[in-house]
Each structure stands twice: as C-alpha cells, then as structure tokens.
C-alpha cells in the first residue's frame, strides 16, 4: 500500500508529514485572521449604518423643527383670522396674533380659559358652545355664525370653523378653531337687504302713485276751481277748504311713500343746513313740547349741500318727532351740524358714498334707546314700536329714502336706556353744482293764452279736469283718449297745434312714442308730458331733456297753467 500525497497551493505534501501539518496549521491561521478581519469590517459597516441613520434622523428632526417654526410664524402672521387650539374639553391651549386682534385677549390672559367666554350669556345658557364641540367631534367639522363677545364686552359677527385633532391611535387630542370677523360684511349685507326692500316697496308705491295722483288731481283741482267761483263769505268755502286740505294730506302721504322708496321727484337747491335748522327752531320747540329741552349746536359757516329744502325740513321734523316719542317723560333733544371729511375707509364700508367733504347733521336724544333687533328694522317701512293707531311706521323710512336719494348716508347708534343718535352725511356741493343752480331762471307768473293744445289722456275724469283748467285759462283744446285717436286728430286738424299735452303711460302707445310721431308731421308743435308715475322723474331727466317738458301729477290749476305757459314760451325740444 503506497503513501498518500495531497497538493496544497500547487505543492505536493505527503499526508501526515511534518510539512503537511505545518501547512495545514498555516491555513487555519489565515482563515482565523480572515474571519477576524471580516468581523471588524462588519462592525465598521454597522457603525457606519448607525451613523448614517443618526444623520438622517438629525436632518429629519431639523427639518421638522424648521417646519414647525415656519408654521408658527405663518399662524402668528395671520391677523385677519383667529387661529387657536382647544383641549378636548374646550379650554384654550394656543393663541395667535390674529386671535388677539379679533378677540382682544393676550395669550397670557386667555390660555386655560373655556371657549364659552367668547359667547353671549344667552348662548352660554342655551349650551351653544358645548353643542358646537360635540358636533365637531361627531362629524369631523362644525361651522357656526353668530354674535361673539370681545374682551372689552363689544360684540362682533363671527364665522367659526371647528375641527377635531386625533393622534395616530385615533385618540381625541383637542380641536383646531378658526374665527373670522364678518361684522363689516354683515353690515353691507344688511344695507343691500334694506335697499332691496326699498326697491320692492318702491315698485309698489310707484304703481299706486299713478292712480292715486289722478284721484288727487281731481280732488285738489275741482276744490280750487269751485272755491275760486265763490264769494269770500260763502258758507261753502270752509267745506271746500276741508276737501282741499284732505287732498293735500293725500299728497303728503304719497310723497312719504315715494320718499322712502327713493322715487320722489326732488327739487334740489343750494342749502345751508345750519340755516335750515335755525329756521325751524321755534317750530321744533312747539312740536316737542316744554318737557323736552332742545339744544342746537351748529357751526356758523357751513358749505352748502344740494338738496330739496322742503324734504330736508321733513327729515329734521321726522327725526325730532321720533325723538320726542322716545322720551315720554321728558329729556333732551340735541341737533348738531358740522363740516367733516369722509375718508376712503368710510366710503368703502358704505356703498354709494364718495370720500371727500360732507356736511353732518346729527340728531340725538336721551330717550329709551333701542336694542339690536329694533335697530335692524328701524328704517323698514311700516315698522313701528308705537301702539296701534299712534304711528304709520313711515317716519324713519321716509328719512332714509330722502337721504339716500340726496346721495347721502344715514347711520344710527343706540342702546337701551341710553338714548339714540342718528347721524346724516350729505356731500358738500362742488363748484359745478353751484354754477348749475345759480343759473336757473326764476319762475315766471302764471299767464293764460289762446294757443291750440292737443290733450291726450286715457283717464276720462282727469282728461275732463285738464280740459276745464286749460279752457279756463283761455286755451283752445282738442282732446283724445289714446295715441291712435290723437294721431288721426293731428293729421285732420286744419290749423296749427301749438302744444301736445300727453300722459306718459298709456295703452298701446306711450306718450313719448306719440310725441315722436306727431312732431315728425308737425315740427312746430311743442310737447309737455304729465304723469302720476314716480319714475317719470328719471324719464324727465334722461329722455325729455328740458325741465319745462314735464309736470308731475297731481296737477292743480296753477301748476298746470304755469307749465303750459313755460313750455309754449320756451324753445321746442328735439324729438327723443
């Protein structure tokens, strides 16, 4: 049996020889050192991995801290919204700068306080804060609007959004709350709502005005015509006077209806409000009674305003009567005028107001005052807090309409038991307005004539009345009840027709359409419109062009005769 040989690393060794054993031992040593080195390398690699993880974690933590810092800066930089956190029971745990601005509390004053501190007592008693928290926790979001209370006790209209915050396990950590002050928006919405109500009732009033003014024309004119034929000592004169007085009261009522709807035709003049107030001093003292002290504080030199002086007297009188009624046990009524300049901020918060110089008229009393609900409706037509039969509810509504139609603004401030102050701002008249008014010619005396007038009126009693008045002043009258009849008469009439006197609103053909057709065939004929519709004042300004081309019903003998004479003596207008 031969000896076994083993080749190691290319060398033959006899198995079991000394050289073979030494070589094997050497190989084992190399393997041990290799494993040791491998272990060291693994440890180094492991340490490197740990180091990299630590660096990543450190970078992530730094990024998180930077993000949190940026978020805090963002949240604290929001000043138009109150952003803060609540714990699960509703106590404040964080507070931003916007919350301090909106609600008035510094963070040190409010942290730990319950959110019910922001609610009015009635809402707290009703459990509104708790219901909002419960709704947010149940549905994932709750939104609410209502009056909230600031630190100083003042209230503001707030929009509130509440959202729950949970951890990874779904445990409720608290709530995120966002509050936005919408008081200004609510004020603008209320103004829009008020304007819409005025517009709706104005449409109704305008429709009533047509028929009502036709009736008043008959009452006023026939009472004047009959009285003119009676002797001064005739026993019928007092009765006719009462009829005429009733007609004038109807005119005043119709003007009130049109005033608050802003459709009344105004006759603006340059007016010094101080002179108006001082001129009414004696009348106001008699009106309010001896138990009410009247104090008039007026700036002696005021810029003028372009308003209807009669309407401004009605404004002051209505405000004084309203103040007197609020002080049944006596008190103090103060009327003040001053020159002010309204800025852009005020103008932006009051639609229709332009910044610049204005004249202020303020009327304040020491009466019972009004709560917020009453103030919200104080300018509504037919709204009154007086007993049945003691108020029409048109006083303040009329004031509101006159001021808005005069391009002014009106505001009220009142508290129960602390009286009421109503402030009016009217724009100061500029040089162009002063020039326009100063060049208006004075009215001429009423004169009759012998010219031929084509009268077109679809209401038979009014047509008969108008014919009677015109013939009384010497005019030759040709009459028609419709546009079609008038067109035939105009074509067939053999002589000159000097004036077309037509109602504006008629069936099938309007007065303006009729005038355009008739002037085309009789260019020498002049035109005078009349109507009982309130919005014909707008038509007169924009379509007719001449102030002498329109007469507002109710008509009376003198007003109609003056308008007819002025139109005949003036320049003929161009067709519309």
Residue 443 lies in a domain: no
pLDDT value at residue 575? 44
- Same domain, yes or no: 408 and 285: yes
Question: Is a pLDDT exceeding 90 seen at residue 499?
Answer: yes
Mean pLDDT of 332-353: 83
Residues 327 and 240 in one domain: no
The secondary element (H helix, E strand) that includes residue 408 is none
Domain boundary among 395, 415, 438: 438
Find the mean pLDDT for residues 235-258: 77
Residue 522 and residue 506 in one domain: yes
pLDDT for residue 536 is more than 70? no
Window from 63-72, 474-483, 546-555 with minimum mean pLDDT: 63-72
pTM over 0.75: no
Averaged over 426-441, what is the pLDDT?
65
pLDDT at res. 194: 67
Residue 199 has pLDDT above 80, yes or no: no
- Which position has the higher pLDDT, 50 or 115? 115
What's 152's domain CATH number?
Answer: 3.30.450.20
Q: Is the pLDDT of residue 571 over 80?
A: no
- Are 378 and 274 in the same domain? yes
277 and 412 share one domain:
yes
- Ranking 53-62, 408-417, 437-446, 479-488 by mean pLDDT, the lowest is 437-446
| Structural domain contains residue 444 | no
Taking residues 398-410, report their average pLDDT.
83
From 181, 199, 234, give the residue that closes a domain: 181
Among candidate residues 260, 277, 307, the one where a domain is terminated: 260
Q: Residues 528, 530, 535, CA angle at the centre, nearest 5°?
A: 120
Question: What is the pLDDT at residue 538?
Answer: 44
Task: For residue 475, give Cα distances in angstroms to 328, 402, 519.
Answer: 56, 38, 20
- Average pLDDT across the chain, whole number: 79
- Residue 478 belongs to a domain with what CATH number? 3.40.50.2300
Strands (E) in 317-398, as ranges, are: 331-342, 356-365
Residues 28 and 90 in one domain: no
Does residue 520 sit within a domain?
A: yes
Q: Please, which residues bridge with residue 420 across strands? A: 365, 414
Query: Which range (19-28, 113-122, 256-265, 520-529) has the least confidence?
Result: 256-265
pLDDT band at 268 (very low <50, low <70, confident <90, very high): confident
Residue 379 lies in a domain: yes
Reported for 535-542, long-range contacts at CB under 8 A and 24+ positions apart, including other chains, are: 535/206, 535/263, 536/265, 536/504, 536/505, 537/263, 537/264, 537/265, 537/266, 539/504, 539/512, 540/265
Higher pLDDT pick, 56 / 387? 56
Q: How many whole angstroms separate alpha carbon 261 and alpha carbon 205? A: 7
Examine the domain organization and report whether 480 and 522 are in the same domain: yes
* Residue 446 covered by a domain: no
Of 451, 452, 460, 515, residue with least CA distance to 483: 515
Mean pLDDT of 206-226: 80
- Considering the domain architecture, whether residues 509 and 541 belong to the same structural domain is answered as yes
Evaluate if residue 572 carries a pLDDT over 70.
no
Please check whether residue 576 lies inside any domain of the structure.
Answer: no
Instruction: Output the domain CATH number for residue 198.
Output: 1.10.287.130
Assess whether 45 and 163 both reside in one domain.
no
Q: What is the pLDDT of residue 390?
A: 52
Q: Are 253 and 321 part of one and the same domain?
A: no
- Residues 403 and 477 grouped into a single domain: no
**In the predicted model, what is the mean pLDDT of residues 406-420?**
87
Q: Is the pLDDT of residue 173 over 70?
A: yes
**Confidence tier at 547 by pLDDT (50, 70, 90):** very low
User: Residue 313 belongs to a domain with what CATH number?
Assistant: 3.30.565.10
List pLDDT tens digits, range 128-139.
999 999 999 999
* pLDDT of the residue at 477: 93
Q: How confident is the model at residue 554 (pLDDT cuts 50, 70, 90)?
A: confident
Of residues 467 and 346, more confidently modeled: 467
**Residues 387, 388, 389, 393: is their CA dihedral positive or negative?**
positive
Over residues 356-375, the pLDDT tens digits come to 899 999 999 998 888 887 77
Total domain count, the chain: 5
DSSP secondary structure letters along 508-527? SS-HHHHHHHHHHH-TT-EE
Per-residue pLDDT at 328 exceeds 70: yes
| Tokens (6 digits) for 200 | 């709706």
Q: Tokens for 95?
A: 């507070």
Q: Is residue 128 part of a domain?
A: yes
Least confident of 352-356, 396-400, 445-449: 445-449
Which domain, by its residues, includes 23?
5-75
pLDDT tens digit string along 54-99?
666 666 555 545 554 444 554 555 567 888 899 999 999 988 888 8
204 in a structural domain: yes
- 19/60 same-domain check: yes
Which residues are CB-neighbours of 483 under 8 A, at least 6 positions away?
Answer: 456, 506, 508, 509, 510, 511, 513, 514
Mean pLDDT over 269-273 rounds to 86
Would the pLDDT of 219 be above 70? yes
So what's the pLDDT on residue 542?
A: 38
Higher pLDDT: 40 or 475? It is 475
Which one, of 108, 114, 120, 109, lies nearest residue 87 by Cα? 114
Q: What is the mean pLDDT of residues 520-527?
A: 90
Q: Which range has the worst mean pLDDT, 7-21, 28-42, 209-223, 391-405? A: 7-21
In the chain, pLDDT over 70 holds for what percent of residues? 76
């Amino acid at each position: 049996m031969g000896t076994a040989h083993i080749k190691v690393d290319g060398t033959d060794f006899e198995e079991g020889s000394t050289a073979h054993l030494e070589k094997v031992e050497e190989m084992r040593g190399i393997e041990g050192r290799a494993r040791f080195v491998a272990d060291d390398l693994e440890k180094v690699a492991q340490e490197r991995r740990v180091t990299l993880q630590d660096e990543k974690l450190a970078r992530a933590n730094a990024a998180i801290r930077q993000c949190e810092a940026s978020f805090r800066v963002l949240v604290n930089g929001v000043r138009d919204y109150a952003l803060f956190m609540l714990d699960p029971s509703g106590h404040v745990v964080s507070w931003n700068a916007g919350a301090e601005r909106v609600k008035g509390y510094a963070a040190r004053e409010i942290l730990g306080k319950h959110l019910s501190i922001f609610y009015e007592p009635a809402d707290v008693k009703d459990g509104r804060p708790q219901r909002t928290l419960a709704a947010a926790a149940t549905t994932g979001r709750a939104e609410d609007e209502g009056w909230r209370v600031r630190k100083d006790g003042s209230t503001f209209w707030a929009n509130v959004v509440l959202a729950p915050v949970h951890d990874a396990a779904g445990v409720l950590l608290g709530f995120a709350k966002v509050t936005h002050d919408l008081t200004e928006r609510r004020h603008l919405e209320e103004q829009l709502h008020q304007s819409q109500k005025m517009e709706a009732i104005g449409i109704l009033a305008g429709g009533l005005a047509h028929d009502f003014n036709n009736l008043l024309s008959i009452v006023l004119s026939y009472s004047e015509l009959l009285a003119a034929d009676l002797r001064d000592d005739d026993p019928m004169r007092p009765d006719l006077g009462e009829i005429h007085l009733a007609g004038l009261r109807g005119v005043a009522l119709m003007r009130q209806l049109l005033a608050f709807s802003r459709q009344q035709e105004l006759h603006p003049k340059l007016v010094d409000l101080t002179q108006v107030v001082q001129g009414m001093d004696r009348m106001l003292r008699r009106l309010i009674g001896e138990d009410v002290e009247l104090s008039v504080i007026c700036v002696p030199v005021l810029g003028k305003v372009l308003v209807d002086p009669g309407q401004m007297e009605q404004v002051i009188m209505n405000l004084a009567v309203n103040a007197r009624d609020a002080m049944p046990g006596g008190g103090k009524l103060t009327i003040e005028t001053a020159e002010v300049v309204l800025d852009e901020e005020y103008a932006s918060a009051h639609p229709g107001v332009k910044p610049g110089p204005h004249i202020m008229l303020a009327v304040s009393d020491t009466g019972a005052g009004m709560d917020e609900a009453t103030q919200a409706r104080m300018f509504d037509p037919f709204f009154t807090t007086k007993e049945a039969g003691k108020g029409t509810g048109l006083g303040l509504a009329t004031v509101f309409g006159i001021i808005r139609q005069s391009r002014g603004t009106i505001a009220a401030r009142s508290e129960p038991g602390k009286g009421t102050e109503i402030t009016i701002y009217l724009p100061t008249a500029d040089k162009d307005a002063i020039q326009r008014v100063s060049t208006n010619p004075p009215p001429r005396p009423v004169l009759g004539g012998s010219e031929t007038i084509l009268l077109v009126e679809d209401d038979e009693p009014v047509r008969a009345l108008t014919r009677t008045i015109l013939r009384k002043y010497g005019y030759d009258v040709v009459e028609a009840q419709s546009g079609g009849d008038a067109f035939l008469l105009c074509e067939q009439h053999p002589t000159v027709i000097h004036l077309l006197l037509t109602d504006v609103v008629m069936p099938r053909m309007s007065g303006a359409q009729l005038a355009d057709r008739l002037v085309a065939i009789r260019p020498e004929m002049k035109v005078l419109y009349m109507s009982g519709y309130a919005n014909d004042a707008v038509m007169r300004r924009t379509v007719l062009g001449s102030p002498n081309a329109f007469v507002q019903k109710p008509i009376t003998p003198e007003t109609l005769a003056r308008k007819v004479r002025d139109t005949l003596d003036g320049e003929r207008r161009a067709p519309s």
